[in-house]
Structure 1
């Protein structure tokens, strides 16, 4: 087999854009309540104005603004109350000069009225007369029809991952169904003679299978559908059969273990026999032995066997692949913090450093590379470019949150 020919992280991201461009995830129409976390496959155009009518933004009195010119505490403007507008009902009147209508927040402004005086600046003189102690300008305390969203406007762009905020917008203009990308179908294959399931009794020389559980959780967190997950012994023929079946039913296959250079690491050779391997080694730490390939219309990723490295590669590489397949424009959730101490980076490698946030500081989680306990402490990670020598204490860094 070929030995590592490592590529830079930037080169790998460029190859992801190129090599997976022909993999198309189909779309489906679903109810907006089922769309949370899904990716829109078409632009959303508003079928109506929002609001649908001129509305008051305060409790008060709807008036003709010119009638209140010069009104003050000393010289109020006196208005005849001709209507008390109710929420959810259309105003019955068209105001004339010198008239006012009581209006609650959100109610429909009557015809010919162009402003609302807040109730705090008014005083009832009788059941049908009110004194207004403050003048108002044209459209003051009014939101006009279509001010928020106008009919025909693009309100959500395709590629957007739907959040509760988008569901609120869709509901506000009467849209109950949207077209989204179908969930990416995934298969997880974990290899290693040393692996046992988590409910098996531990034996010397054996380790529990962590990766299939962690990877499945991360895939589901990304909105993917895990079709199956299998743990295999290091047998090439069994691996070939399993991978072939996975390719036939999956958009994305993730292989844990077997990506290093070794006598029993079959991943590279088998993927190459079924399609193309375009990455075998990335200049990142951790995660150097990562493999990227493609077979027919299936993306294939060979992840490092160590859970910490596998999770790191998932964050910076697999998520980029998922976004590419879904044509998703989602960005990472990032916060800016000062680093609590000096951090050294690996020369010539794009370094992924786990951190936790305490007292508005990003604290590096340092430990031996084999330590699993570090993972649960981490709130996120920082990326140190390969051309950087490291970070200095109190330097501002971008923390990518999990």
Structure 2
């Protein structure tokens, strides 16, 4: 069996990034959560002119060196610059965001100025050169690269493009993902549950995560345990999708046909991973699409999606900023059961204890069929393959859930 790291390395090495020639041009209003397909260069400076960071008075330091009391030559408002003659020994009343008058060295905030009865103003101290002035290009300079290929377009980056007067952006196509569940025992969510049947929660959970990853989802519903129907469904799915995801049917039971059909119409690149839960995970290639086969147990399906399918979709979508989740050290609050041999991902809840340390406890029983504990968890407790039982107080590594599971 491959380790998780080996499986992930092999998979990402084989999966292609999207081609730049397939990029789509979208208005900013339709580009949220898409992946940037073309480097974006700023066409302007931001700010595009020197402006005031405060309500106050624009001054020339030479005038203040002669006298700390000045007359007021006029006003500069946002959108209405000062246009009169700026006589010596005078200041210009200025508002936040207003254009700095030519020749000004600083802006003194109004709280540090005394307005005299004769209309003059007295300054309490000499300001520093450039004080309270926002200079042209201070935020973004014309010609700066503001977005790189592979970055996600978000509520932070899209307003930046808007501030530059950019109305459209090139994005990679969304990944088309066909989703199938396998098994005669499965019943769609919302239908009456018959004796011996279970609800198809895996396809539902996978669909929810794919929606968060902004994929185009093709729902192929539930496949019965029939090899011919498996093959027909696989052929139809791979003709329409970039990636086919199934849950169930990748073990070694008599009714587990996924691996058999995959070998018939495609190839299995690897099958079985030394991780718990999630050992029976299959990765391969169909004629027109890639394939990920998740285990049937709901916890195993979610863990393998999070650890393997998530980065696979990032690669296929062109999202270059994806990184392996950062692991944090934590103290085990209780004993953890662990058998040597496979890397273990136990559901846990971490918090800061009274001593200011990260402390983690397992949540519920850790069986791969027990999904309820996920709701009360906020991290995986990641235990090394060679490690056995963990005693309370020992250091373990945790992987906090990100927004995909939040």
TM-score greater than 0.5 by the shorter chain: yes
* Aligned equivalent of 1:140, options 121, 131, 143: 131
Inter-partner Cα distance in structure 2 for 1:82 and 1:281: 79
2:35 aligned with 1:50, yes or no? no
2:152 aligned with 1:157, yes or no? no
* 2:73/2:87 contact within 8 Å kept: no
Please tell me the root mean square deviation across aligned C-alpha atoms, in Å.
2.4
- Equivalent position of 2:382 in the other structure: 383
Tell me, what secondary structure is at the counterpart of 1:253? strand
| Shift in CA distance, 92/334, structure 1 to aligned 2, threshold 3 Å | farther
* Aligned equivalent of 1:280, options 271, 281, 287: 271
Q: What is the correspondence of 1:26-37 to structure 2 with a 5 Å cutoff?
A: 26-37=22-33
| Shift in CA distance, 345/132, structure 1 to aligned 2, threshold 3 Å | farther
| Shift in CA distance, 200/321, structure 1 to aligned 2, threshold 3 Å | same
* 2:379/2:399 contact within 8 Å kept: no
- Equivalent position of 1:73 in the other structure: none
* Aligned equivalent of 1:349, options 342, 345, 348: 342
* 1:184/1:251 contact within 8 Å kept: yes
2:12 aligned with 1:11, yes or no? no
Inter-partner Cα distance in structure 2 for 1:176 and 1:385: 49
Inter-partner Cα distance in structure 1 for 2:44 and 2:387: 52
Deviations 1:324-382, CA, capped at 9 Å, x for gaps:
10121234676957445244544232222222345565432231412121122223434
Deviations 1:125-181, CA, capped at 9 Å, x for gaps:
146411011211211111101010001101121211122111121111111211112
Q: What is the correspondence of 1:3-402 to structure 2 with a 5 Å cutoff?
A: 6-21=1-16, 24=19, 26-69=22-65, 77-93=68-84, 95=86, 97-126=88-117, 128-331=119-322, 338-341=330-333, 342-358=335-351, 361-369=359-367, 370-389=369-388, 393=393, 395=395, 397-401=398-402, 402=405
Gaps of 5+ in 1: 1-5, 71-75
Tell me, what secondary structure is at the counterpart of 2:156? helix
Gaps of 5+ in 2: 354-358
Cα distance, 1:385 vs structure 2: 3.7
Inter-partner Cα distance in structure 2 for 1:264 and 1:165: 49
| Shift in CA distance, 66/312, structure 1 to aligned 2, threshold 3 Å | farther
Give me the TM-score of the superposition, normalised by structure 1.
Answer: 0.90
Tell me, what secondary structure is at the counterpart of 2:283? strand
Inter-partner Cα distance in structure 1 for 2:103 and 2:17: 58
* 1:337/1:398 contact within 8 Å kept: no
* 1:54/1:109 contact within 8 Å kept: yes
For these two proteins, the number of residue pairs brought into alignment is 392
Inter-partner Cα distance in structure 2 for 1:358 and 1:103: 50
Inter-partner Cα distance in structure 1 for 2:381 and 2:106: 52
Give me the TM-score of the superposition, normalised by structure 2.
Answer: 0.89
Inter-partner Cα distance in structure 2 for 1:166 and 1:394: 42
- Equivalent position of 1:3 in the other structure: none
| Shift in CA distance, 344/65, structure 1 to aligned 2, threshold 3 Å | farther
Deviations 1:179-223, CA, capped at 9 Å, x for gaps:
112111111111111112223322221111111111111111111
Inter-partner Cα distance in structure 1 for 2:381 and 2:192: 37
| Shift in CA distance, 142/237, structure 1 to aligned 2, threshold 3 Å | same
Tell me, what secondary structure is at the counterpart of 1:164? coil
| Shift in CA distance, 66/282, structure 1 to aligned 2, threshold 3 Å | farther
Inter-partner Cα distance in structure 1 for 2:48 and 2:389: 56
Deviations 1:59-105, CA, capped at 9 Å, x for gaps:
111011343359xxxxx701121011112122314645422111111
